[in-house]
Amino acid sequence: MSLDMETNRHTCSLGGGVIGASWTSLFLAGAKSVAVFDPAPQIERQVRDYIATAWPSLEELGLVVDGADPDAVTFHADARAAVDGAGFIQESVPERLEIKHELYCDIEDALEPQAIVASSASGLTLTEMQGGWRSPGRFVLGHPFNPPHLIPLVEVLGNDHTHDGVVAAARAFYESVGKVTIEVRKEVPGHVANRLQAALWREAISLAANGVASVEDVDTAVWAGPGLRWAVMGPTMLFHLGAGEGGLTSFTERYTDSFNRWFDDLGELHLDPEVAAQLVAGIAEATGEQTTAELSAQRDALLAAILQATAGKR
């Protein structure tokens, strides 16, 4: 199965929250038209404001292609009307299974025959969500990282119920709007990247909870240390380079005992109310008077700068 880019110039974003608005901005930058479904009364103003804020960064990154129009967006309170004529539909409604199932049931008969529906879900599995479809063959996981219009990664997953070629077609669509895709080959909770960041966050929480360092200093240790390297290469490749010409073979020979000692000493915990309160207090101390909007703008500016600096160098 292939996606004709001309046929799929019209897209749909189901859900106009932060993730949906970010997807909408990216699709518009890729010269797509977008129909947004969200019954919230203020959604048009919120999404248009988001697009206006995101557009300069998209332009800086070269993601706004010829023919792109930030006003090529319509808004719908009826999901069936929103998916009408769309070749690619990105679903980003709240992560409650009953909401997703109800939505899928509503739109299934209104879809174009070759349309692909991809869910942004991070906490639900594809199998769980497929329960909302009579025929889930054109439905895949298309999990982004926030904000989707800036972070390149999309994790794509199909399974035995997915029609041949649909995963490849979904990846091709995402890549046509500037994304970097991976295929998740086996269904696990959290997919790939969320599990990686969950493992890191668990240890970050453990270090703070056990008084090894403050919440702010643990965060600093990430962005000022290994986080810089992770922005350009993954951990296994970096360790391959860490031992010089001997590569990963030499690295594992040198450091196996050290890593096994660290592995055995890593913290095991659950995010309970007491731990959450400690983290909240630590973030309050670190952020001071800065609002989440100000911090988000700072984040996005730094992300854009990193992406610009590394563009075309892989």
**177 & 99 share domain:** yes
Provide the CATH number for the domain around residue 28: 3.40.50.720
pLDDT of residue 4: 53
Pick from 183, 209, 231: which residue ends a domain? Answer: 183
Pick from 183, 211, 227: which residue ends a domain? Answer: 183
1 within domain boundaries: no
- % residues pLDDT > 90 (the chain): 88
Pick from 127, 159, 183: which residue ends a domain? Answer: 183
Asked if residue 39 has a cis previous peptide bond (ω within 30° of 0), the answer is no
Provide the CATH number for the domain around residue 284: 1.10.1040.10
**169 & 82 share domain:** yes
Q: How far apart are CA 150 and CA 208, in angstroms?
A: 30
Q: 267 is in which domain, residue-wise? A: 193-310
The per-residue pLDDT of the chain, averaged, comes to 94
**118 & 256 share domain:** no
Please answer whether residues 155 and 192 qualify as being in contact, where contact means their C-beta atoms are separated by less than 8 angstroms. yes
Taking the whole predicted model, whether its pTM rises above 0.75 is answered as yes
User: Does the pLDDT at position 8 exceed 90?
Assistant: no
206 within domain boundaries: yes
**152 & 19 share domain:** yes
For residue range 250-280, what is the model confidence (pLDDT) as tens digits?
999 999 999 999 999 999 888 999 999 999 9
CA angle 209, 146, 21 (to 5 degrees): 140
Residue 1: band (very low, low, confident or very high) from pLDDT cuts 50, 70, 90: very low
Count of the separate structural domains present in the chain: 2
